[in-house]
Structure 1
Amino acid sequence: MHIFEGLPSQLDSSPVMQLKRSTFQELSFRTGLWFALGVGFAIPISTSLTSAFSVGVLICWFLSGQYRVTFELLRTYRVATVSLILFCTLAVGLLYTPQTLSLATRNLFKYRQFLMIPIYLSFFLDSRVRLRGIRMFELALLLTLAVSMFCWMFGIEWDVPSHDHAIFKNRITQNILMSFLVYLSAWRFLEKPRKNWFWGAVLLIATVNVLLIVPGRSGYLAVGVLIGVLMYQKLGYKGILPAGACVLVIGMICYQSSDRFQRRIDLVISEIRNYHQTQDHASGVNLRIEFLLNGLELAQSSPIFGSGTGSFAMRYHQLMEQKGQMVTANPHNEYVMLLVQNGAIGVGLFLLLFWFCWRSTRGLSGLEPAFAQAVVGVYMIVCLVNSLMLDTTEGGLFGYLMGLTCAAGVSTRGASLGTSPVETDADAPDSQAETLQNAA
Structure 2
Amino acid sequence: MHIFEGNPNQLESCPVMKLNRSTFQELSFRTGIWFALGVGFAIPVSTSLTSAFSLGVLVCWFLSGQYRVTFKLLRTYPVATISLILFCTLAAGLLYTPQTFKLATRNLFKYRQFLMIPIYLSFFLDSRARLRGIRMFELGLILTLAISMCLWLFGIEWDIRSHDHAIFKNRITQNILMSFLVYLSAWRFLANPRKAWPWGVLSLIATVNVLLIVPGRSGYVAVGILIVVLMYQKMGYKGIIPAGVGVLVIGLVCYQASGRFQRRIDLVFSEIKNYHQTQDHASGVNLRIEFLANGLQLAGASPIFGSGTGSFAPRYRELAEQQEQMVTENPHNEYIMLLVQNGALGMGLFLLLFWFSWHSARGGTGLEPSLTQAVVGVYLIGCLANSLMLDTTEGGLFGYLIGLTCAAGISAKGISQGDLPREIVTETKADEPEAVPKAA
- 1:39 matched to 2:39? The reply is yes
Question: 1:244, 1:295 → 2: CA distance?
Answer: 31
- 1:386 matched to 2:386? The reply is yes
Q: Hey, what does 1:201 align to over in structure 2?
A: 201
Question: 1:25, 1:366 → 2: CA distance?
Answer: 31
Question: 2:333, 2:350 → 1: CA distance?
Answer: 13
SS at match of 2:115: helix
Unaligned runs of 5+ in 2: 1-14, 433-440
SS at match of 2:361: coil
SS at match of 1:360: helix
Question: 1:424, 1:407 → 2: CA distance?
Answer: 21
Q: Hey, what does 1:189 align to over in structure 2?
A: 189
Question: 2:420, 2:272 → 1: CA distance?
Answer: 51
Aligned pairs (5 A) from 1:142-161 = 142-161=142-161
Question: 2:274, 2:42 → 1: CA distance?
Answer: 42
SS at match of 2:19: coil
Query: Structure 2: which amino acid aligns with 1:83?
Result: S
- 1:125 matched to 2:147? The reply is no
SS at match of 1:301: coil
SS at match of 1:264: helix
Q: Hey, what does 1:81 align to over in structure 2?
A: 81
Q: Hey, what does 2:138 align to over in structure 1?
A: 138
Question: Against the structure 1 CA distance between its residues 326 and 309, is the aligned structure 2 distance closer, same or farther, given a 3 Å change threshold?
Answer: same
Q: CA deviation at 1:200?
A: 0.7
Query: Structure 2: which amino acid aligns with 1:154?
Result: F
Q: Hey, what does 1:438 align to over in structure 2?
A: none
Question: 1:255, 1:297 → 2: CA distance?
Answer: 36
Query: Structure 2: which amino acid aligns with 1:58?
Result: L
Question: 2:272, 2:420 → 1: CA distance?
Answer: 51
Question: 1:94, 1:368 → 2: CA distance?
Answer: 35
Query: Structure 1: which amino acid aligns with 2:134?
Result: I
Question: 1:425, 1:323 → 2: CA distance?
Answer: 60
Question: 1:255, 1:303 → 2: CA distance?
Answer: 41
SS at match of 1:277: coil
Instruction: Encode CA deviations 1:28-77: one digit per residue, 9 max, x unaligned.
Output: 11100100000000011001001111111011101100000000001110
Worse overlay, 160-169 or 97-106: 160-169
Contact in 1 for aligned 2:161/2:167 (Cα 8 Å): no
Query: Structure 1: which amino acid aligns with 2:249?
Result: V
Question: 1:113, 1:403 → 2: CA distance?
Answer: 9
Unaligned runs of 5+ in 1: 1-11, 435-440
Aligned pairs (5 A) from 1:338-377 = 338-377=338-377
Instruction: Encode CA deviations 1:119-141: one digit per residue, 9 max, x unaligned.
Output: 00000001111000000000000
Contact in 1 for aligned 2:72/2:420 (Cα 8 Å): no
Q: CA deviation at 1:118?
A: 0.1
Q: Hey, what does 2:268 align to over in structure 1?
A: 268
Query: Structure 2: which amino acid aligns with 1:339?
Result: L
- 1:323 matched to 2:323? The reply is yes
Question: Against the structure 1 CA distance between its residues 112 and 301, is the aligned structure 2 distance closer, same or farther, given a 3 Å change threshold?
Answer: same
Question: Against the structure 1 CA distance between its residues 236 and 429, is the aligned structure 2 distance closer, same or farther, given a 3 Å change threshold?
Answer: closer
Question: 1:342, 1:267 → 2: CA distance?
Answer: 33
Question: 1:331, 1:56 → 2: CA distance?
Answer: 32
Question: 2:158, 2:405 → 1: CA distance?
Answer: 33
Q: Which has the higher contact order (CA 8 A, sep 6+)?
A: 2
Q: CA deviation at 1:18?
A: 5.0
Contact in 2 for aligned 1:424/1:430 (Cα 8 Å): no
SS at match of 2:158: coil
Q: Which runs of 4+ in 1 moved over 4 A?
A: 417-426, 428-431
Query: Structure 1: which amino acid aligns with 2:175?
Result: N
SS at match of 1:276: coil
Contact in 2 for aligned 1:18/1:423 (Cα 8 Å): no
Aligned pairs (5 A) from 1:52-91 = 52-91=52-91
Contact in 2 for aligned 1:228/1:239 (Cα 8 Å): yes
TM-score in terms of structure 1 length: 0.91
Query: Structure 1: which amino acid aligns with 2:395?
Result: G
Question: Against the structure 1 CA distance between its residues 198 and 304, is the aligned structure 2 distance closer, same or farther, given a 3 Å change threshold?
Answer: same
Q: Hey, what does 2:5 align to over in structure 1?
A: none
Aligned pairs (5 A) from 1:3-18 = 17-18=17-18
Instruction: Encode CA deviations 1:172-230: one digit per residue, 9 max, x unaligned.
Output: 00000000000000000001111111101101100000000000000000001001100
Query: Structure 1: which amino acid aligns with 2:263?
Result: R
Aligned pairs (5 A) from 1:18-33 = 18-33=18-33
TM-score in terms of structure 2 length: 0.91
Question: 1:77, 1:272 → 2: CA distance?
Answer: 43
Question: Against the structure 1 CA distance between its residues 21 and 211, is the aligned structure 2 distance closer, same or farther, given a 3 Å change threshold?
Answer: same
Contact in 2 for aligned 1:410/1:421 (Cα 8 Å): no
Contact in 1 for aligned 2:338/2:347 (Cα 8 Å): yes
Query: Structure 2: which amino acid aligns with 1:270?
Result: S
Q: Hey, what does 1:284 align to over in structure 2?
A: 284
Instruction: Encode CA deviations 1:150-190: one digit per residue, 9 max, x unaligned.
Output: 00001123211565000000000000000000000000000
Aligned pairs (5 A) from 1:176-325 = 176-325=176-325
Contact in 2 for aligned 1:125/1:422 (Cα 8 Å): no
Q: CA deviation at 1:413?
A: 2.0
Q: CA RMSD in A?
A: 2.3
Q: Hey, what does 2:104 align to over in structure 1?
A: 104
Question: 2:338, 2:209 → 1: CA distance?
Answer: 32
Question: Against the structure 1 CA distance between its residues 232 and 362, is the aligned structure 2 distance closer, same or farther, given a 3 Å change threshold?
Answer: same
Contact in 1 for aligned 2:39/2:54 (Cα 8 Å): yes
Query: Structure 1: which amino acid aligns with 2:342?
Result: N
SS at match of 2:276: helix
Q: Hey, what does 1:9 align to over in structure 2?
A: none
Q: Hey, what does 2:166 align to over in structure 1?
A: 166
Query: Structure 2: which amino acid aligns with 1:329?
Result: E
